[in-house]
Structure 1
């Protein structure tokens, strides 16, 4: 009988393991299994650093049926191995993001240096100095593209570890993942090439000029600044903390840029909005100045201060009209600035509304004071109703039926009745509005505690009734015995 029972338990465990594998979950080891096993006087490691798990040590240290699906051992069956490998991959990804951040900022700094030297007339686009600097930008761009590919490879490995996948193709969502990688590579590959290429450009007045293509490439190269978001995410405490990593991995919570941005907006919204607005002002001002100065170097918009003024009034959706862009590139930058201004203004309004909202203690104090004031108003109005009603009754007893004085007293009576009713209704409204989710949850908890207390009392009463019935039954049996003896 014991053999059949053991066999049934093992078949049940194999079925559970198969269901867990199909669902993407992990097989948690039996708590009774020691973390290390002693063999030949030495202790084996609980978490193996190698990619493959030895069947002699892993299967030997696990309970029967806990070795994987249908006896097949997987390296992801060990949850300690999963957490350790995930930590190693996250540290490796952090290092790659540091390389991305350094190469991206290096390329942008070289681009700004070369553009400013060209604007100030130090050299032209065909000089050796410009070609050397742009060649250095190309080298940094190649290094950035390689780092991006490695970053996505590590991301795929992290997904495989989290979901216990053995094939990397399961982590790639076709075609979204492939298009995302290609789009990111395309964005980061844009840079001023080490040759001088000029294209025809038309201004808003229809004037035709030959403009260097580096102006467009330099502005589009600023799109690499999205890597700053990656850098902030991988160095944020939500991702560097070991407990947060474990909770995120076990609960399938993706800690990405959007998650960290929402966390920062909930903790330091003012600092985030000021930083975003300042970054938009600096970047868009430089982009607008570059568009204008390559087309018409002597225009008012080619000044950085004038570009900042135009960007500011466009960001705030004011638009005085004293300065306006003279190129289609400048108009495009102005439109983007306006859209960013509208979105940032919406965030600013939401943050201000949240900051101006009363806290729970302030709301309770305000509601209490308002109720006290309304009670006073209602009592005063009730006393006025009694006073004016007695005045009208006395005037009626005295035979005063008409007259201005009686009409005035009657109007005061109606006004007092109206004030009393309004105070009562407003007090009821305050009571209804003060009930929120927290109050409802507290009431539900109180009701739950009362119900549990009643259930406990009913159980105790039921036990007492059962005990009483048993005692009465024993008394009845003893009485039967006594009567039987007689």
Structure 2
């Protein structure tokens, strides 16, 4: 590590530390405490009320500490294997990643906790903004603020309770926006829960394919039947019934259109089923094929090495055979020369003895 800690302090890191210290330093002071101890009935001034609101509402910025604690105590963050896999895939284990994981694993629980927390915090902020004014609808008790936030969060808006300050109206506006976002998330979660699984989709497609195949057979049979009936009433019957022929021709056209429609449905179903191909299964098949190819390549390499070894042995054998052949040939040449010389000597002796006689 670095010997001096100031080496790791960049401008962005210093700005984040200063922002965190500023958020943690916000504390509202007790407004009206002096009047309470002096037993006076003087009402707090507007400046003190605004200062209390300005210091009380930013306190909720400290909720980022919950996300940090959730990340530090998460099993994904504390598990060494998970962090190693994430590092290999260039995944940063931060609060956003942990929140996405929890939203994927426990969507209903996360949405419920977030909605209830937002409801309570927004109601408290609305009550703080409205309690020092003369209007008694929201300053009477905390339950009225809860009711106001709930109807605003659900985008109902009965209008029986309304905010009168800009602070309260801003909180209601933010509550409505967050309520719309939570509604979208709830719809997405419910749609995902109602969606068929991969196995159920395969079963459904198989059943639909069987049903459409039966309909194709029925439509083709209807086409053949109407064609035969038209041929029967036009060629085989002695008296042609034009009404019956037109009726069968009309049925033939309807049967042909029905056959084309069912074939188009089967084609669309085939296109949809092609999108349901399990990528994991395809990857496993590709891995098996590659493993088999690598095995065949290994066997081929083994055979090639064995052939090279045999060729090398043959080459060494030929190299060792050459001296033997040369020695054998030289021996045979010398013996042949010796025999030829002996034959010449015998021939000369025979010719000399014949001349003496």
Give me the TM-score of the superposition, normalised by structure 1: 0.55
User: Who wins on radius of gyration, i.e. which is larger?
Assistant: 2
Once the two structures are TM-superposed, the CA of residue 199 in structure 1 deviates from its matched residue by 5.4
Query: Is residue 314–residue 338 contact of structure 1 (8 Å, CA) maintained in 2?
Result: yes
Q: Higher helix fraction: Structure 1 or Structure 2?
A: 2
- Alignment map for 1:147-162 (pairs within 5 Å): none
Question: Which residue does the alignment assign to 2:201?
Answer: 363
Structure 1 pair 252/452, CA: closer, same or farther in 2 (3 Å)? closer
Once the two structures are TM-superposed, the CA of residue 331 in structure 1 deviates from its matched residue by 0.4
Listed as ranges, the gaps of 5+ residues in structure 1 are 1-163, 202-209
Question: Which residue does the alignment assign to 2:23?
Answer: 187
Q: Distance in 1 between matches of 2:83 and 2:302?
A: 47
Q: Distance in 1 between matches of 2:321 and 2:87?
A: 71
Query: Is residue 384–residue 416 contact of structure 1 (8 Å, CA) maintained in 2?
Result: no
Question: Which residue does the alignment assign to 1:393?
Answer: 231
Structure 1 pair 420/337, CA: closer, same or farther in 2 (3 Å)? closer
- Alignment map for 1:337-356 (pairs within 5 Å): 337-356=175-194
Whether 1:178 aligns to 2:14 is: yes
Structure 1 pair 362/408, CA: closer, same or farther in 2 (3 Å)? same
Structure 1 pair 199/173, CA: closer, same or farther in 2 (3 Å)? farther
Q: Distance in 2 between matches of 1:240 and 1:280?
A: 29
Question: Which residue does the alignment assign to 1:428?
Answer: 270
Structure 1 pair 476/366, CA: closer, same or farther in 2 (3 Å)? farther
Aligned equivalent of 2:284, options 437, 442, 448:
442
Question: Which residue does the alignment assign to 1:293?
Answer: 131
Query: Is residue 127–residue 138 contact of structure 2 (8 Å, CA) maintained in 1?
Result: no
Structure 1 pair 420/454, CA: closer, same or farther in 2 (3 Å)? farther
Whether 1:417 aligns to 2:253 is: no
Whether 1:332 aligns to 2:174 is: no
Bigger mean CA deviation after superposition, 463-472 or 400-409: 463-472
Q: Distance in 1 between matches of 2:60 and 2:263?
A: 65
Whether 1:220 aligns to 2:58 is: yes
Whether 1:407 aligns to 2:244 is: no
Structure 1 pair 280/472, CA: closer, same or farther in 2 (3 Å)? same
Bigger mean CA deviation after superposition, 165-174 or 328-337: 165-174
Q: Distance in 2 between matches of 1:250 and 1:414?
A: 59
Deviations 1:411-463 (A, max 9, x none): 24323432442243134223322224334423422332342244234334534
Q: Distance in 2 between matches of 1:246 and 1:444?
A: 26
Question: Which residue does the alignment assign to 1:374?
Answer: 212
Query: Is residue 388–residue 410 contact of structure 1 (8 Å, CA) maintained in 2?
Result: yes
Query: Is residue 382–residue 416 contact of structure 1 (8 Å, CA) maintained in 2?
Result: no
- Alignment map for 1:193-272 (pairs within 5 Å): 193=29, 196=32, 200=46, 211=49, 213-241=51-79, 254-272=92-110
Q: Distance in 2 between matches of 1:289 and 1:447?
A: 67
Q: Distance in 1 between matches of 2:90 and 2:195?
A: 34
Question: Which residue does the alignment assign to 1:308?
Answer: 146
Q: Distance in 2 between matches of 1:467 and 1:340?
A: 77
Deviations 1:104-154 (A, max 9, x none): xxxxxxxxxxxxxxxxxxxxxxxxxxxxxxxxxxxxxxxxxxxxxxxxxxx
Once the two structures are TM-superposed, the CA of residue 273 in structure 1 deviates from its matched residue by 0.8
Listed as ranges, the gaps of 5+ residues in structure 2 are 34-43, 333-357
Q: Distance in 1 between matches of 2:65 and 2:200?
A: 42
Bigger mean CA deviation after superposition, 309-318 or 408-417: 408-417
Aligned equivalent of 1:451, options 293, 310, 315:
293
Task: Count the aligned residue pairs.
Answer: 314
Q: Distance in 2 between matches of 1:212 and 1:478?
A: 109
Once the two structures are TM-superposed, the CA of residue 167 in structure 1 deviates from its matched residue by 3.3
Once the two structures are TM-superposed, the CA of residue 314 in structure 1 deviates from its matched residue by 1.7
Aligned alpha-carbon RMSD (Å): 3.6
Give me the TM-score of the superposition, normalised by structure 2: 0.73
Once the two structures are TM-superposed, the CA of residue 276 in structure 1 deviates from its matched residue by 0.3
Q: Distance in 2 between matches of 1:361 and 1:338?
A: 39
Once the two structures are TM-superposed, the CA of residue 215 in structure 1 deviates from its matched residue by 3.5
Deviations 1:264-321 (A, max 9, x none): 1122121111100010111111111221112235235643222222211222233233
Once the two structures are TM-superposed, the CA of residue 248 in structure 1 deviates from its matched residue by 7.0
Q: Distance in 2 between matches of 1:194 and 1:419?
A: 77
